[in-house]
Amino acid sequence: MNKQITVSDSLYGQGISRRSFLKFCAITASTLAITGVGVKAFTQALAVARRPSVIWLSFQACTGCSESLLRSGNPLTDRLTVENLILNFVSLDFHGTLQVAAGAQAEAARRTAMEENFGQYVLIADGGIPTGDSEWSSAEGGQSALVLLRETIEGAALVINVGTCASFGGLPASAPNPTKAMGVGDLMAAGLVPSRALLNISGCPPVPEVITGSIAYFLVNGALPPLDSLQRPMLYFGKTVHDCCPRLPHFEAGRFAASFDDDGARQGHCLLLLGCKGPDTFNACTTNKWNQGTSSPTQAGHGCLGCSEPAFWDHPGGFYGLVNEFELGDGTACATPAHPQLPVV
Ligand code: SF4
Ligand code: F3S
């Protein structure tokens, strides 16, 4: 762990103003349900927090989680983007996609970070991990993904799974799961990798502010936030998409769009009949929204796919749930079941 540099040292060293930092802290504190004098205490604690060493491993993934994070802000108008906050919160000592180093040099950086910070570093994972006779479907530096994960998890104080693939297997694990892919938590439960404190930030991709807020909570409190049964922070996954959806008044009044281009859809009517999975999906996307608070899927007219829930790739909602003619590799149909929560009006 870098014992010298604090979060505020790093931010101010990058030319980020104190004003921007205070603004970020106020917004993050509100998402963590911290109000009043608690905001000042949160800000002070975050400013003096030491930046933990982070090793970020990517497995069977589309890189969408990293892409989402890196493109979450507008660098022309705001230097304090989510991604530069994250990169200043932590000492990112290894990230296979972002780092300049490659090959043996990159591998050496990972080993050095592990040795110098053994027992203290944070391991961030994205992507599903192939297992069994498909273990070598993903490999790096002469090691299978599973061996790489097992070795790196050994000295980690905390594992953060970013995205639905690392959390629950995601797309690689969808039927027929040709590489026998698993999420990190399932690997721990099966005894295939050592068990460590685990935080799942699911979503395809996950909401960037949820990653920032969860890391900020850990830095300030030295502990994980309260978690739900799927190891997700309750502060961000405690409510469904439906609970906070701008179309909820129409749902309650029994006004449903019958197609994506009818008058009802244009007037903001509920998308449940079009396969929206908002009532069954826990995520912060309708409260935090995307692209710096611009909009969310249901606000924009696209029903929720359920991207933050396990096995959503096998049973996606929204438009893709309506495309139920095709069959999955195991012969089962990919369909969204009729929803039991239709209101009686
Ligand atoms: Fe709920 Fe989806 Fe309707 Fe929104 S569009 S109110 S999330 S069912
Ligand atoms: Fe994902 Fe549904 Fe939100 S698809 S981004 S959880 S609206």
Between CA 182 and CA 300 the distance in angstroms is 32
Atom of ligand 1 nearest to the CA of 278: 7
The pTM of the full predicted model, rounded to 2 decimals, is 0.84
Give the rounded percent of residues in the chain with a pLDDT score beyond 70.
Answer: 85
206 lines ligand 1 (CB under 6 A): no
Mutate to test the pocket of ligand 1, among 241, 242, 256, 260 (most ligand atoms within 8 A of CB): 242
Which residue from 312, 108, 80, 331 is spatially nearest to 205, judged by alpha carbons?
312
276 lines ligand 1 (CB under 6 A): yes
Instruction: Pick the range with the lowest mean pLDDT from 132-141, 181-190, 202-211, 333-342.
Output: 333-342
Between CA 126 and CA 216 the distance in angstroms is 19
Please answer whether residues 54 and 91 qualify as being in contact, where contact means their C-beta atoms are separated by less than 8 angstroms: yes
Residue 258: pLDDT above 70? Answer: yes
- The set of residues, in sequence order, having a beta carbon less than 8 Å from that of 247 and lying 6+ positions away, is 268, 269, 270, 271, 298, 299
Mutate to test the pocket of ligand 1, among 244, 270, 281 (most ligand atoms within 8 A of CB): 270
- Backbone dihedral angles phi then psi of residue 319, each to the nearest 5 degrees: -55, -40
Which residue from 180, 112, 120, 118 is spatially nearest to 146, judged by alpha carbons?
180
Assign 215 a pLDDT band (cuts: 50, 70, 90). Answer: confident
Please answer whether residues 68 and 206 qualify as being in contact, where contact means their C-beta atoms are separated by less than 8 angstroms: yes
Whole-number pLDDT of residue 319: 58
Between CA 32 and CA 41 the distance in angstroms is 13
Report the relative pairing of strands 197-201 and 143-144 from DSSP bridges.
unpaired
CA 318–ligand 2 middle distance (angstroms): 10
Between CA 281 and CA 237 the distance in angstroms is 9
303 lines ligand 1 (CB under 6 A): yes
Atom of ligand 2 nearest to the CA of 305: 4
CA 321–ligand 1 middle distance (angstroms): 15
What is the overall mean pLDDT for the chain? 84
Mean pLDDT of 111-124: 92
Mean pLDDT of 308-330: 64
- Backbone dihedral angles phi then psi of residue 147, each to the nearest 5 degrees: -65, -40
Report the relative pairing of strands 139-140 and 91-95 from DSSP bridges.
unpaired
